């Protein structure tokens, strides 16, 4: 089993993480990813890699309620009166690239431990 992690910021405001498998994830692997990914699996699709081989992509995003994005972070630099007006939508935490990579790495670790138990 090959798993490739990718962290990306597709629209420049919030981070997403993806695990690319060389085969479909089984039900237990999908359950593990859904539990370990930030906000659960929000992307699941069969695609093709650069060599035209099929691959299966499972991903998550950091654009949920309680997540800040780059746009909201920029708002925090506004004058206090304006920031006060924006406060109801500018709550939560910004999930960094490091956060996403750590989430991907720990998920891979759990998936590999699971694979070892059924091998």
**Which residues, in sequence order, are bridge partners of residue 103?**
none
Domain borders along the chain are 3-63+94-118
Its pTM surpasses 0.85: no
Residue 56 pLDDT > 60, yes or no? yes
Cα separations in angstroms, 31 against 25, 62, 89, 107: 10, 19, 31, 11
Average pLDDT, the chain: 86
Residue 53 pLDDT > 80, yes or no? yes
């Amino acid at each position: 089993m090959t798993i490739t992690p990718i962290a990306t910021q597709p629209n420049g405001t919030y981070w997403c993480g993806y695990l690319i498998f060389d085969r479909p994830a089984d039900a237990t692997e999908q359950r593990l990813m859904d539990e370990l990914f930030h906000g659960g699996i929000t992307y699941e699709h069969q695609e093709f890699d650069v060599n035209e081989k099929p691959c299966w992509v499972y991903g998550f995003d950091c654009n949920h309620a309680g997540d800040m994005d780059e746009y909201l972070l920029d708002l925090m630099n506004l004058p206090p009166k304006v920031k006060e007006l924006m406060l109801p939508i500018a709550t939560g935490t910004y999930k960094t690239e490091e956060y996403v990579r750590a989430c991907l790495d720990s998920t891979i670790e759990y998936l590999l431990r699971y694979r070892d138990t059924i091998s």
